[in-house]
Amino acid sequence: MNPAHDILRIALPVPLPRTFDYLLPRDGCVPPPGTRVEVPFGRSRRIGIVLDSAGASEWPREQLKPVQRVLDSAPLFTPELLASLSRAGEYWCGAIGEVLFGALPSWLREGKAPPRPDDEAWRLTVAGRSALDARSRRGSSAGLLRALAESPLRADELDALLPKWRAASRRLRDAGLIETVVPPARSEWRCKPRAQPLTEEQAKALEGMRADARDPRPWLLEGVTGSGKTEVYLELIERALRAGRQSLVLVPEIGLIPQMLRRLRARFDAPIAVLHSNLAEGDRARAWLSALHGEAAIVLGTRSAAFAPLRRAGLIVIDEEHDASYKQQEGFRYHARDLAVWRAHSLDVPIVLGSATPSLDSLANVETGRYTLLRLRRRVHARPASPVHVLNLRGLRMRHGLSPVLLEALDACIARGEQALVFRNRRGYAPVLLCHACGWHAACPHCERPLTVHRGRARLLCHHCGFAQPLPQSCSQCRTAALIPQGHGTERLEDALRARYPQVPVLRVDRESTRRRDAFEKLLDELAHDKPAILVGTQMLAKGHDLPNLTTVAIVGVDEGLHSVDFRAGEKLAQLIVQVAGRAGRADKPGEVWLQTHMPDHPLLATLLRGGYPAAAQEMLEERRALDLPPFAHMILLRAESVDAAALDAFLDAALRAFPADERVRINGPLPAPMPLRAGRHRAQLLLESGSRAPLRHALSIWWPRLQELSQPRGLRWSVDVDPVDVY
């Protein structure tokens, strides 16, 4: 740092898009960028992060106060990460301090000293190995024994694999089945040999990447489920690892971490740092630090792991790149995939975006030459994709929302001793409770939307705001006891299937049934055995998990997606159908997919069946192009909400007036939000669109500071969403 630069620019965790100037601490030490410091702020003290130093301040020097204390002997952010986060803050309209502090694990946010590294690992004793072989333990104890079967594991690794391992470890240690050891040296990075040779397609894809090793463009790896994408990631990670470089691997949700971790563990004998929001504070801080110090060979995590510091970066992998979970939907609304693409660029490392159903955004980037497309067309294990049968429901007599042909298919599947999956993207018993006498339906008093019937819990619930009330016995309008649940949620399907197949386990998988993290793993564990079973569930079922005995997939109730006004609904639906269908017939048994609909000749379904996802995606892209919609246009959405409707209107009108006029930017609104009332708050929005990004960015740079200055009545909340994924 230039010695004449004795003013520090510091980011503080406050919701203001600005930095704060301080003088050097009295002892004259100069904390480098990325270091935490304690500073006086008003009457209190705050932890801040040094961004850089300057020779002058816009404030008079006498008014500046010195930094009180320097907390770290070395920075907690790499220069690249600081730069990327500053850029991200600018792009997605985040206050720099909130962005930086949001990236830090909470342990470090609070100014605590970094936690001590874990100095213990667990392994099986001889008695433990016999207990494992004899299967003498159950539940989380059995899970822990299995987890330790191959190699000792550290606490952070166990945290990621088994939420209840600590309780189990006490029991098992007391029983002499496991013991602690000094963990294997973290510094050693080794690869185990690949079990099978690469397929021709995998080799070709990797060849393409090798040939273009200096090509800075992201690769889009498109391959159906089971085509060996993960194996391609592993190869690339191996290359990085052999060069002593770290790989960052993102998956869209916590539920997918255990299986990715198992694949990584099976292949690499090297420290893996796992980062997600459900970790114990200390473990999260440890994982962050091992990424920062370049100890972790691989950093595996969900969305927020896109903020991980990487001292020796070599590769970034984004699995299931199309998944909307990569976009943060509250607070700082960044997109982890897009952030990762920038970071790869500034780190000068390759990045691979993988998916069976790439987003239209990424496909458009392939078209313009910004991304390079690589395809895996065939499944590794010769099994072709399962045939999809469309069942026309018009005029059919349904039983509990299931058509006769579908029930026959399920009968046959169970008779063969195989497993079936019934997919319905609606939890609860029924989406509406209707009065047969007068037509009244139960609605949320705070949202004016129908309440969902939850029969098991004997409640009506609002899925938008959480409002709950006991299940009424009679109509609140005409008092008749003629209330009937309308439509079918997963709970109702579960009941119906239980009644029809009393001899097989029927397992429901939705947010309700799996509120505990280990419940989902346990359910899947049960299904790993080859006995017949039926799974009923929401899109939680669409992702990842390999169930070898699952052969029949039934998709019911997708018509809502075909009716939706959201221009992204078609894309989401096509992705969901393909992902769910991909669950069928993954191992050595052929699979079959049934899709129930009242719109068998809907163009999207027709194209999807005829040409698969690539054809459907192509068609949807053309449509978006013709209608000037993203990815061919760019959007910024200002959302606001308040209990006071007049205050809301006034704010949005003022926001509209504050917008710098630009004929290249279309302004829609202010308009009521798609849900004009939620949790008792009125909601409205202003949507800005432009065919090119530059005028929109320019306008935003003027508008955003003006918005901060607008008078904001108490209780009014607003946010700016750049590239929103959810406009409706």
Residues near ligand ADP (CB under 6 A)? 196, 198-199, 202, 223, 225-231, 380-381
For Zn ion, give the closer residue by CB, 446 or 666.
Answer: 446
Instruction: Based on the shown chain and the rule CB under 5 A, indicate whether residue 440 belongs to the binding site for Zn ion.
Output: yes
State how far the Cα of 237 lies from the Cα of 493, in Å rounded to an integer: 42
Task: Report yes or no: 313 and 305 within 8 Å, Cβ to Cβ.
Answer: no
> Of residues 462, 593, 595, 640, which one binds Zn ion by CB under 5 A?
462
Least separation in angstroms between residue 550's CB and ligand ADP is: 14
Minimum distance from residue 448 beta carbon to Zn ion (Å): 8
Count of chain residues binding Zn ion (CB under 5 A): 14
Smallest distance from ligand ADP to CB 580, Å: 14
Task: Please tell me whether residue 435 binds Zn ion under the rule CB under 5 A.
Answer: yes
Partner interacting with residue 477 (select from ligand ADP, Zn ion, none; CB below 5-8 Å by kind): Zn ion
Instruction: Compute the distance between CA of residue 484 and CA of residue 417 in angstroms, rounded to an integer.
Output: 35
The alpha carbon of 267 is separated from its chain's Cα centroid by a whole number of angstroms, namely 25
Candidate list 93, 444, 453, 553; residue touching Zn ion; CB under 5 A? 444
CA dihedral 398, 401, 404, 406 (to 10 degrees): 160
CA distance 234 to 231: 5
CB atoms within 10 A of CB 370: 13
Q: Is there binding between residue 459 and Zn ion (CB under 5 A)?
A: no
Contact partner, 478, from Zn ion, ligand ADP, none, Cβ < 5-8 Å per class: Zn ion
Q: Which is nearer to Zn ion, 113 or 478 (CB)?
A: 478
Q: How far is the CB of 196 from ligand ADP (least distance, A)?
A: 3
Nearer of residues 48 and 223 to ligand ADP, judged by Cβ: 223
Which of ligand ADP, Zn ion, none does residue 540 bind (CB under 5 to 8 Å by kind)?
none
Residue 628 has φ and ψ, to the nearest 5°, of 60, 45
Residue 427 touches which member of ligand ADP, Zn ion, none, C-beta under 5-8 Å by kind: none
Kindly tell me which residue out of 293, 464, 500, 666 binds Zn ion, with binding defined by CB under 5 A. Answer: 464
* One of 123, 166, 173, 446 touching Zn ion (CB under 5 A): 446
Partner that binds at residue 5, options ligand ADP, Zn ion, none, CB closer than 5 to 8 Å by kind: none
Shortest CB 445 distance to Zn ion, Å: 8
CB 602 within 8 A of CB 559: no
Q: What does the alpha-carbon distance between residue 486 and residue 1 come to, in Å, rounded to a whole number?
A: 68
Provide the phi-psi class of 457: left if phi over 0, else alpha when psi is between -120 and 50, else beta.
alpha
Would you say 225 or 452 has its CB closer to Zn ion? 452
Which entry of ligand ADP, Zn ion, none binds 609, CB below 5 to 8 A by partner kind? none
380 binds Zn ion (CB under 5 A): no
Residue with Cβ nearer ligand ADP (18 or 377): 377
- Token pair listed for 648: 């809301």
Residue 228 binding: pick among ligand ADP, Zn ion, none (C-beta 5-8 Å cut-off by kind) = ligand ADP
- Using the rule CB under 5 A, is 434 a contact of Zn ion? no
Token pair for 512:
């309700």
Extract long-range pairs of 627-634: CB within 8 Å, 24+ residues apart: 627/567, 628/689, 628/691, 629/567, 630/361, 630/567, 630/723, 631/360, 631/361, 631/364, 631/365, 632/364, 632/691, 633/689, 633/690, 633/691, 634/689, 634/690, 634/691, 634/692, 634/693, 634/696, 634/723
Q: Which of Zn ion, ligand ADP, none does residue 440 bind to, with CB < 5 to 8 Å depending on kind?
A: Zn ion
Q: Which is nearer to ligand ADP, 202 or 685 (CB)?
A: 202
353 vs 655 by CB, closer to ligand ADP: 353
Q: How many CB atoms lie within 10 A of CB 535?
A: 25
Does 676 interact with Zn ion (rule: CB under 5 A)? no
User: Which residue blocks in 221-335 are alpha helix, DSSP H?
Assistant: 229-242, 257-267, 281-292
Q: C-alpha angle with apex 169: 264 to 112, nearest 5 degrees?
A: 75
Reading the block at residue 437, the tokens are: 């006498």
Bond into 66 cis (ω within 30): no
Half-sphere exposure of 629 (CA within 13 A, CB side): 15
Binds 225: which of Zn ion, ligand ADP, none (CB < 5-8 Å by kind): ligand ADP
Tell me which residues touch Zn ion (CB under 5 A). 435, 437-438, 440, 444, 446-447, 462, 464-465, 467, 475, 477-478
